[in-house]
Amino acid sequence: MKLKFKKFDAVVVGCGFAGATIANLLANKGQKVLIVEKRSQYGGNMYDYYDENGVLVHKYGPHIFHTNSKKVFDYLSSFTPFEEYKHKVLGNIDGTLVPIPFNFTSLEKLLPNEAKTIEEKLTSKYPGKVRVSILELLNDEDEQIKNFGQYVYEKVFIHYTAKQWGIHPDKVDKSVINRVPVILGYEDLYFGDTYQYMPVKGFAEIFNQMLNNKNISIILDTPAKELLKLEDGKIYLDGELFSGRVFYSGAIDELFDYRFGPLPYRSLNLVFERHNVTYYQPNSVVNYTTSEDFTRISEFKYLSNQHIEGKTTILKEYSLPYDKDNPACSDPYYPIQNPENQALYGKYLELSKTYPQLTLCGRLAEYKYYNMDAVILRAMEIVENL
Q: Which tens digit of pLDDT belongs to each residue from 28-78?
A: 999 999 999 999 999 999 999 999 999 999 999 999 999 999 999 999 999
Residue 356 is predicted with a pLDDT of 96
Instruction: Give residues with Cβ within 8 angstroms of 135, minimum separation 6.
Output: 149, 174, 175, 177, 178, 180
Binned at pLDDT 50, 70 and 90, residue 161 comes out as: confident
Cis amide prior to 262 (ω within 30 degrees): no
Binned at pLDDT 50, 70 and 90, residue 5 comes out as: very low
Say how far apart CA 348 and CA 351 lie, in whole Å: 5
Say how far apart CA 302 and CA 268 lie, in whole Å: 22
Say how far apart CA 188 and CA 122 lie, in whole Å: 17
Domain segments of the chain as ranges? 3-42+211-263+336-384, 100-183, 266-329
316 CB-contact burial (10 Å; exposed 0-12 / middle 13-18 / buried 19+) = middle
Put residue 377 in one of left, alpha, beta given phi > 0 → left and psi -120 to 50 → alpha.
alpha
**Mean pLDDT confidence for 375-384:** 97
Residue (of 304, 306, 299, 294) closest to 282 by Cα position: 299
User: What's the whole-number average pLDDT of the chain?
Assistant: 94
Residue 175 is predicted with a pLDDT of 63
**Mean pLDDT confidence for 294-321:** 96
The model's pTM: 0.93
3-state secondary structure of 117: helix
Say how far apart CA 33 and CA 213 lie, in whole Å: 10
**To the nearest whole percent, how much of the chain has pLDDT over 90?**
85
- Asked whether the predicted pLDDT for residue 4 surpasses 70, the reply is no
Lowest-confidence pick of 13-22, 45-54, 279-288, 332-341: 332-341
Q: Which tens digit of pLDDT belongs to each residue from 89-128?
A: 999 999 999 999 999 999 999 999 999 999 999 999 999 9
239 and 5 in contact (C-beta within 8 Å)?
no
Binned at pLDDT 50, 70 and 90, residue 165 comes out as: confident
Residue 162 is predicted with a pLDDT of 85
3-state secondary structure of 265: strand
**Mean pLDDT confidence for 263-288:** 96
Lowest-confidence pick of 160-169, 187-196, 336-345: 160-169
Q: Which tens digit of pLDDT belongs to each residue from 325-340?
A: 898 889 999 999 889 9
Residue 87 is predicted with a pLDDT of 96
CATH number given to 3-42+211-263+336-384: 3.40.50.720
279 and 25 in contact (C-beta within 8 Å)?
no
Residue 289 is predicted with a pLDDT of 86
Residue 328 is predicted with a pLDDT of 87
